[in-house]
Amino acid sequence: MVDALYPSVGQAAVDLLEKHGATVLVPEKQTCCGQPAFNAGYRDEARRMARHFLDVFAPLVENGEIDAIVAPGGSCVAMVTHFFQVLFAEPGHEGDRARAARLQPITCELTQYMVDVLGVERIDARYPGRLTYHACCHLLRELGVDDQPRALLAAAEEAEMVELSGADECCGFGGLFAVKNAELSTAMGRRKTRSIRESGADAVVMNDVSCMTHINGLLKREGHDCRAVHIAEVLNGTAVEGGKKAVSDDR
Amino acid sequence: MIVDVGAPYRQRLEQALGDEAQRTALDRATSRLSGQRRLALEAVDNPRLRDEARAIRQSAIENLPATLEQLEANLTANGCVVHWARDAAEAMQIVREIAQSSGAQRVVKSKSMVTEEIGLNDALERIGVDVVETDLGEYIVQLANEPPSHIIAPVIHKRVEDISELFQRELGMPPTDDPTVMCAAARHRLRKEFLDADMGISGCNFAIAETGTVCIITNEGNGRMVTSMPRVYVAVAGIEKVVQTVEDAALLWQAASRNATGQSVSVYFSMSSGPRRPGHADGPEEMHVVLLDNGRARMLERGYGDAALLLADDPTLYKELPYASSLCGVCRDVCPVKIDLPRLLLDLRSDMVENGSTPKFERAAIRAYTRSVESPARFQRLQNLARMARRLPVLPPPLNKWARTRELPRVPDKSFQQLWRDRRQAHRGGSDE
């Protein structure tokens, strides 16, 4: 999704990593880790996609070309670090299971990598406005990442952080759930946008573009000015323009 | 609102989403309960409590046959009559026969999910036995002629205003929104039911094998009256409720109270180890324990053993329910015995795909997507296609379902990978890589 819909998020993630001392490689042959198919129950298909992921990334790790795999989203990381093991648990997949196990400890979400591995404490970003933070489910509950993005956001200059009530409640996206159970997904999302509106924030920051698409889809349809923005763009100092532009584009 | 539990999932969903009163009730109750839960958990090392609770349930299930035999032996030694029921029909027949042979006409019940699972109230009413639910929530849904809507809070779907209206209609109560007044009215009526009843029926939270004891967790004291006042007491227990020791039951009691209702422990904890003995001041003359399988052993065999820790097996729900969750993971994180419900739902989804019960269009789309993911060039073409789909006058599925309530994102002209390549090429122009 970052690749097709949000290239600026990908770019912001790369910029951030480079700013904080990492050298970034973007393997051209990478596509999708298979999370959407796995989530919908399509294990054979998900295995094929996971294998493609392993074919692209495992050699880079084995050759010592890279020390870590970083993604700007919790769902994709949870897929690699948790659910690849489920996919390859059955007999006959020992090879892929071993390859996945080697990637497991070095695959990180962006802010997790910045704080836990690079030790970033200060960032040179400013956001003149009110921000609130929504904790995406896979990031929070599968990866246990919450302090890292909050700490980095708190370091943004001029940003006034406001609390989002029910910040850890699901926005209702849920992959295929968003269309298979569109009404329920929408009802959950409206609960979320109501809390966002009540928080008085100019932008709600999050780490996954899928939840961001869902929340923005609702906020725009409701005619509200607040926007969901990706944390990479906020931390990179590129979100303010993006946010304003997005608003004026729709008017 | 009249709930038709037999209605198709889509219809029930639509009805539930459109019911503003019910949604208000759920909002109020869930925010109160999760607040209470947070407070109750401050006092303990909850991760450890849950680990220990899980280990207890796990070990009981791993040694199920032996533990159940020990339970049966000790219950029998205590003077209980133990009955084994393979399924709901057998269990209903057993309870009906107990009622008939003891001449019971009036039954009082303590809140129980297992008797709900087997449809016991209907079975008894069909042979002319009066059944009265005595848990306040269950009493309310029985008055409203509705099934309980939640395993621990049966009336979570009703606001206090709705209950007031119901009490005015069914009990002839003057209008009031004061829960204490309504509670007192119900209590007054229920007291008479307890005195008149000749049979009490409860479920079972824990059945202790080493002592032959049935335990129930309640908060209103009604459970204690159900188990001790009528001359016949019947406990229906799913076979997964067995635990080995009294200490095991005590720990699970705390884990359940803190995590489920946000209490340090429940107000009442009733332990029944057999009928009244010579010298006892009160207690039932007969105590029966019905041990129910009803698909639980099969779930263990099929690898859904984790669900047998808690859940009943209902194949009619399989078609829609595995997909009726966003899999956010909260249920797993609050579960006192750490059941990984999202994982079980993922496994059920996979079962559905394997037996071909997902929509054809979806299967074809996922297959096409898979092929493109395996080839970066095709993946690029798929993205271009998606870009074009946005310009169509009518959106194809699944985008149409999305766009009914949500705006679609603006699709940029170039993907990240394309921009990345451009940047690298521009960079290469000047260097000699």
B402 vs A183: CB contact, 8 Å cut-off? no
B346 vs A10: CB contact, 8 Å cut-off? no
Q: What is the average pLDDT across A23-41? A: 96
Would the pLDDT of A103 be above 50? Answer: yes
A179 vs B398: CB contact, 8 Å cut-off? yes
Closest Cα in chain A, distance from residue B223 (Å): 35
Kind of pairing, strands A126-133 and A157-161?
parallel
pLDDT of A134-184, one tens digit each?
Answer: 999 999 999 999 999 999 999 999 999 999 999 999 999 999 999 999 999
SS3 content of chain B, % helix, strand, coil (to 5): 55, 10, 35
The phi and psi torsions of B220 (rounded to 5 degrees) equal: -115, -5
In whole angstroms, give the CA distance from residue A64 to residue B345: 38
Interface of B with A in 73-102 (CB under 8 A): none
B417 inside 8 A of chain A by CB = yes
pTM of the model: 0.89
- Specify the residue for token string 């209470």: B36
pLDDT at B3: 63
Q: Using DSSP, how many helices (H) and how many strands (E) does chain A show?
A: 15, 6
pLDDT at B308: 54
B383 vs A4: CB contact, 8 Å cut-off? yes
Q: Give the Cβ contact number of residue A65 at 10 Å.
A: 10
Would the pLDDT of A50 be above 70? Answer: yes
Q: Is the CB of residue B396 less than 8 Å from the CB of residue A7?
A: no
The conformation of residue B316, written as its DSSP 8-state character, comes to G
Residue of B349, B383, B404 with shortest CB distance to A41? B349
The phi and psi torsions of B206 (rounded to 5 degrees) equal: -140, 140
A179 vs B401: CB contact, 8 Å cut-off? yes
Token pair belonging to A218: 């609702």
pLDDT-flagged residues of chain B (< 50): 310-313, 432-433
Token pair belonging to A74: 């919790």
* List of E strands, B285-351: 286-292
A141 vs B329: CB contact, 8 Å cut-off? yes
Closest Cα in chain A, distance from residue B414 (Å): 8
Distance of CA B31 to the CA centre of its chain: 19
Cβ contacts of A30 on chain B, cutoff 8 Å: 376
Residue in B with minimal Cα distance to A170: B328
The conformation of residue B105, written as its DSSP 8-state character, comes to -
DSSP string, B227-289: HHSSSEEEEEEEGGGEES-HHHHHHHHHHHIIIII--SS-SEEEEE-SS--TT-SS--SEEEE
A183 vs B376: CB contact, 8 Å cut-off? no
Residue of A30, A41, A48 with shortest CB distance to B358? A41
A42 vs B366: CB contact, 8 Å cut-off? yes
Closest Cα in chain B, distance from residue A192 (Å): 13
Would the pLDDT of A113 be above 70? Answer: yes
Question: How far is CA B78 from each of CA A158, B85, B272, B279, B328, rounded to the nearest angstrom?
Answer: 72, 20, 10, 15, 46
Picking from B136, B132, B125, the residue whose alpha carbon sits closest to that of residue B195 is B132
Question: How far is CA B252 from each of CA A27, A81, A100, A166, B136, rounded to the nearest angstrom?
Answer: 50, 32, 37, 29, 24
In whole angstroms, give the CA distance from residue B312 to residue B300: 12
pLDDT at B2: 60
B324 inside 8 A of chain A by CB = yes
Q: Is the CB of residue B387 less than 8 Å from the CB of residue B411?
A: yes
- Specify the residue for token string 């090392």: B45
Token pair belonging to B384: 């271009």
Q: Is the CB of residue A101 less than 8 Å from the CB of residue A172?
A: no
Q: Is the CB of residue B13 less than 8 Å from the CB of residue B23?
A: no
Q: What is the average pLDDT across A90-116? A: 97
Q: Which of the residues B30, B31, B373 would you substitute to probe the A interface, choosing the one with the greatest number of A C-beta atoms within 10 Å? A: B373
A48 vs B370: CB contact, 8 Å cut-off? yes
pLDDT at B306: 63
Residue in B with minimal Cα distance to A10: B416
In whole angstroms, give the CA distance from residue B246 to residue B243: 8
B407 vs A142: CB contact, 8 Å cut-off? no
Q: Is the CB of residue B301 less than 8 Å from the CB of residue B249?
A: no
Would the pLDDT of A48 be above 50? Answer: yes
Size of interface A-B (CB pairs under 8 A): 168
In whole angstroms, give the CA distance from residue B210 to residue B71: 7
